[in-house]
Chain A
Amino acid sequence: MIDNFNRFVLANADMLLFGMWITARVCTLGFALAIVLGALACALRLYVPLLRPIAIGYIEFCRATPIFVQLLWVNYVWPELFGFPRTVEGAGVIALALQSSGYLAETFRAGIQGLPRGQAEAGLAIGLSRLTIMRRIVAPQAVLVMAPAIVNQMAVVVKSSTLVSVIAIPDLMYQALKIVNQWFEPIEVLTTAAALYFLIIFSLSTGAERIAVRFRRKFGLVELH
């Protein structure tokens, strides 16, 4: 087994590292786009009554469809329908962003609506504009409350990103399966890939928990026991 580990994993370490870099790139781009789309959907849902049904439909669609179905849908249907994305990596990024934007929009909404009304009303009373209230009073507090959920969503993105290997984006999973198909020795390579994914996702979700605990203590957001 150690022999095989040297032969299949260490000898192909460059492939796996390259795969991790692609995974990191797809996840980062997808998550950044998800934040933008999620904030937009949340803002439309809360503040633009005319577009509210569309925003709700978008959010529900993103949340109710499995990521794998979305991925294939974006990859095969969007080029025909909208003329983009032109690369598989674009499709992977958009699919990951779609999925997470639905969840993030709901996280943002919960964060904003969870604040006591008095906060915004106090701002209005001293004559601040709505935008200033959003920027200086609502957003900073809401971000603190939402931070753990946002980091958790990052972990979900990394998890879902394993699927982009299916549309031939050369991520970590893709490289691992490629090595397996070359040598027909699945044990060491797939176990290594699993361990790498576990480490990445575990540190993200443990990080989320740490952040949650620290913020609660620091800002007294939750009543102390």
Chain B
Amino acid sequence: MLGELWQSLDPSLFWEYRVILLSGLAVNVGIFLAAAVVASLLAFAIGLARMSRIGPLRAAATGYAELFRNTPELVIIVWTYYVLPVLIGRLFGIRLDLSPWLASVVALGLAYSGFMSETVRGGLLSIPRGHVEAAMSIGMSGWTILWRIMLPQAIRRMLPEALNQFVSLFKATSIVSLIAVQDIMYRVSMINVQEMRPLPLYTGAALLYCAVVIAASQAIQHLSARRQSWV
């Protein structure tokens, strides 16, 4: 079976298309980076809102997090791409064209902001009350306490979990081909239509993803092991 796999996994075909495949992967990386920024910013806003003293704000933020944590990524992407422009058009009477790329970034950013707001909340909750009280007793304002006391500590504690979320986010970028972003899976399918050789193409794509994700997780584990000495 392995011999057969090796025979039909003609590496030269994969090598022949290396530029197309790697530039496809670069599109994934681009979407990943943009979506990671969107998700992190939203996650901080939502995470802070979930700890607010204002009841309705807290409830709204919790609802937001639950909504995006419990809806499949594909549904969010398709909804953002097909429904959002039409809905905005009907409601406000403006024509809005969302490019597939932008729709993927927005959708993945929204989807992962739900998961990550939980991480942010956990990080903020892990800070001992005494630190905040000490800052208050020397007369720091709320924002200064957040900026100088809470966030620097919370971010360090959130880092390992947040990085794992980023790995999941990177894996999720594989589905953007479904709204015709020309990423690696899109290109693999296109080449497959021409060459009719699914085995080397799809196996290659799977192994490529596997290599990237395992390398990233190993790096994260290494980093979190070292982090023990920071805190």
A: residues with CB less than 8 A from B are 60-61, 64-70, 72-73, 76-77, 80-82, 155, 158-160, 162-163, 166, 173, 177, 180, 186-187, 190-191, 193-194, 197-198, 201-202, 205
Contacts and interface: CB of A to CB of B under 8 A. Distances in A.
Contact of B75 (A155, A186, A194): A194
Interface of B: 1, 4-5, 8, 66-67, 69-76, 78-79, 82-83, 86-87, 90, 171-172, 174-175, 178, 185, 188-189, 192, 198-199, 202-203, 205-206, 209-210, 213-214, 217
Contacts of A81: 1, 4-5, 8, 199
Given A66-B209, A81-B4, A187-B87, A73 B202 contact: yes
B213 A65 contact: yes
B69 A76 contact: no
Can you list the 4 inter-chain pairs with the closest CB atoms, starting with the nearest? A76-B198, A64-B213, A66-B174, A66-B171
A191 B79 CA distance: 7
Given A76-B202, A202-B70, 11 more contacts: A61-B206, A66-B209, A72-B188, A72-B205, A82-B1, A180-B82, A187-B86, A187-B90, A194-B71, A194-B76, A205-B70
Nearest to A80: B199
A65 B67 contact: no
30 contacts: A65-B206, A65-B209, A65-B210, A65-B213, A68-B175, A69-B202, A69-B206, A70-B206, A72-B188, A72-B189, A73-B202, A76-B192, A76-B202, A80-B198, A80-B199, A81-B4, A155-B70, A159-B72, A160-B72, A173-B78, A190-B78, A190-B82, A191-B83, A194-B79, A197-B71, A197-B72, A198-B67, A198-B70, A201-B70, A201-B71
A201 B111 CA distance: 14
Nearest to A163: B74
A186 B82 contact: yes
A205 B185 CA distance: 30
